[in-house]
Amino acid sequence: MFCDGLSRRDALRVGSAALFGSAVGLPQLLRAADGGSRDTSLIFVFLHGGLSTIDTLDMKPDAPAEFRGEFNPTRSKVPGMDLCDLLPKLGQQADRFSLVRSFRHHNSDHGPADHYILTGYFPQAGFNPNLSPNNQRPSIGSMVSRTLGPRGSVPAYVALPKFHPSGGPAYLGANHAPFTIDADPNAPNFSVPDLMPPAVVAADRLTDRRALLDTVDRFHRGAEARANQHAGAVATFRDRAFDLMTSPAAKRAFDIHAEPDRLRDEYGRSSLGQSCLMARRLVEAGVRCVTIDHSNWDTHDGNFATLRGSLLPGFDAAISTLFRDLADRGRLDSTLVVVTGEFGRTPRINKNAGRDHWGPAFTVLLGGGGLKGGVVVGRSDARAERPASDPFGPEDLFATVFHQLGIDPKAEFHTPDGRPVAAVNNGRLIPGLT
């Protein structure tokens, strides 16, 4: 079930199979953006499972063997910002991003930590991580959609390659849930189903079909429609399907096959690489927020073999090329990129050559969007067990992101019963970045 009680089957009936969670409606798509002193987009790369930052972005070569791991640090382009030697391409882009090495929070369970990182609020009693969506609070993309609105005919908020359970709008409503691609951009036959009419419906019949549905809507705008609490959400799904199917701009934005093979190869022929390329295309087309949910970084077993063999080569290509490509196109200053897992990994290596969940200390990478590059904020202790200085958490990350997007961190939203809720839970700007 979705946050408004609508089932996925209902969404499929109205032609929005990819709109996992719900969709932004046509009236909102056509409305001019209404806020912010900056015109900045957000790409939020969520490394689902938890990146081992002690092995990548905050290495401890002088720690005992059971902590320091198998990899070696190497110098990046920025003096003092050593990175894992398996990330050589990322190191060459170090002047374009910064690291917060004293990030932390108090939870090391996937579900609650996911919600915390994606909403800025730790979930309260009654949270069920097995629901999808499971938002007690709106996700960052939904808040961006609600506050800034869409640009033109593309969605304000897009999730790829799939919907994350904590990526929904909560009380902000169906208009501010993501348009979800629900397909891997790395697949050879990748396409977005919602951008094409069903094969049995000729394109020139879409307008007639919509007019007929509008007539039916007017007929049912009485007691029957009022009794159906989902009627508005169904209309939202339907509006999204029609709008996207008839929008040349949306079709162009999602056509990753239009990119040169050389550039696709640079991003890496992986789900993460092609998702990052798709994200760049989408913000270029006007999308306000793109979230990338990439799995699986949960390296309890064989941490080093998994990182070396598959995860880090793809990560190195994807994130480094994203920063370079945005800079080359003159879009880095207007695109904020955040890269983080829900937590880090345990400093002590376990008996299976893996690392377990660790919320008390990890590193967040962020750059672009007007932030300073080449900065290291804070530090962890000698074994990356706790912040040694300047601890920051999800509330501070949200305050900083909102500030860079031109959104007042003190802004309030209202629940359906009129209760005001702060967008940011008392966060502060992370110093040294702005």
Q: What is the pLDDT of residues 185-203, one digit of tens each?
A: 999 999 886 665 444 444 4
Radius of gyration of the chain (CA): 22
Q: What is the mean pLDDT of residues 382-405?
A: 97
The two structure tokens encoding residue 422: 């702060």
Taking residue 196's Cβ as centre, other Cβ atoms within 10 Å add up to: 13
Residue with tokens 């939203």, as numbered in its chain: 413
Give the pLDDT band (50/70/90) at residue 2: very low
pLDDT at 301 over 90: yes
Question: Environment class of residue 190 by beta-carbon count within 10 Å: exposed (0-12), middle (13-18) or buried (19+)?
Answer: middle
Q: How far apart are CA 352 and CA 349, in angstroms?
A: 8
| Residues near 391 by beta carbon (within 8 Å), at least 6 away in sequence | 102, 103, 104, 378
- Report phi then psi at 351, rounded to 5: -70, -15
Q: Is the pLDDT of residue 208 over 70?
A: no
- Residue 227's contacts (CB-CB under 8 Å, 6 or more residues apart) are none
Query: CA torsion 92→97→101→105, rounded to 10°?
Result: -140
Sorted by sequence, the CB contacts under 8 Å of residue 274 that are 6+ apart come out as: 184, 185, 186, 190, 256, 264, 267, 268
Q: Which tokens hold the place of 162?
A: 């799939």
Read off the pTM.
0.85
Predicted pLDDT at 194: 62
Is the pLDDT assigned to residue 399 strictly greater than 90? Answer: yes
Residue 252 binned pLDDT confidence (cut-offs 50, 70, 90): confident
Four-residue CA torsion sign, 104, 110, 116, 117: positive
pLDDT at 207: 54
**Interatomic CA distance for residues 323 and 332, integer angstroms:** 7
Tokens 């990052």 identify what position? 276
55: DSSP letter: G
8-205+233-422: which CATH topology? Answer: Alkaline Phosphatase, subunit A (3.40.720)
The residue type at 300: H
**CA-to-CA separations, 24 to 132, 147, 248, in angstroms, rounded:** 18, 13, 18
DSSP string, 131-161: SSS--SS--HHHHHHHHH---TTS-SEEEES
Looking up tokens 């064989």 gives 302
Q: What is the pLDDT of residues 137-181, one digit of tens each?
A: 999 999 999 999 999 889 999 999 999 999 999 999 999 999 998
Residues 46-63 have a mean pLDDT of 98
Instruction: Determine the Cα–Cα distance for residues 37 and 311; give it in Å rounded to an integer.
Output: 38
Q: How many helices (H) and strands (E) does the chain have?
A: 15, 16
Which is it for strands 41-47 and 289-294: parallel, antiparallel or unpaired? parallel
Q: Using an 8 Å Cβ cutoff, are 398 and 427 in contact? A: yes
103 forms beta bridges with: 362, 392
Give the residue-averaged pLDDT of 92-98.
98
More confident: 236 or 393: 393
**Spatial separation of the C-alpha atoms in residues 393 and 105, rounded to whole Å:** 6
Decide if pLDDT at 216 tops 50. Answer: no
Q: Which amino acid is at 353?
A: A
Q: How far is CA 180 from CA 128, 167, 239, 384, 422, in A?
A: 22, 10, 15, 36, 26
CA distances from 110 to 128, 193, 371 (A): 12, 31, 29
> What pLDDT, on a 0 to 100 scale, did the predictor assign at position 425?
95
pLDDT, averaged across the chain: 85
Residues 6+ apart with CB under 8 A from 246: 206
Residue 208 vs residue 306, higher pLDDT:
306
* Contact in structure between 352 and 302 (CB atoms under 8 Å): yes
112 three-class SS:
helix
Report, as an integer, the average pLDDT of 18-41.
44
User: Predicted confidence band at 12 (pLDDT cuts at 50, 70, 90)?
Assistant: very low
- Once rounded to an integer, what is the mean pLDDT over residues 325-346? 98
SS3 call for 400: helix
Verify cis geometry, omega within 30 degrees of 0, for the bond prior to 228. no
Judged against a pLDDT cut of 50, whether residue 83 lies above it is answered with: yes
* DSSP character string of 341-375: -SSEE-SS--TTS---EE-SSEEEEEEETTPPSS-
Kindly list the domain boundaries of the chain, sorted by start residue. Answer: 8-205+233-422
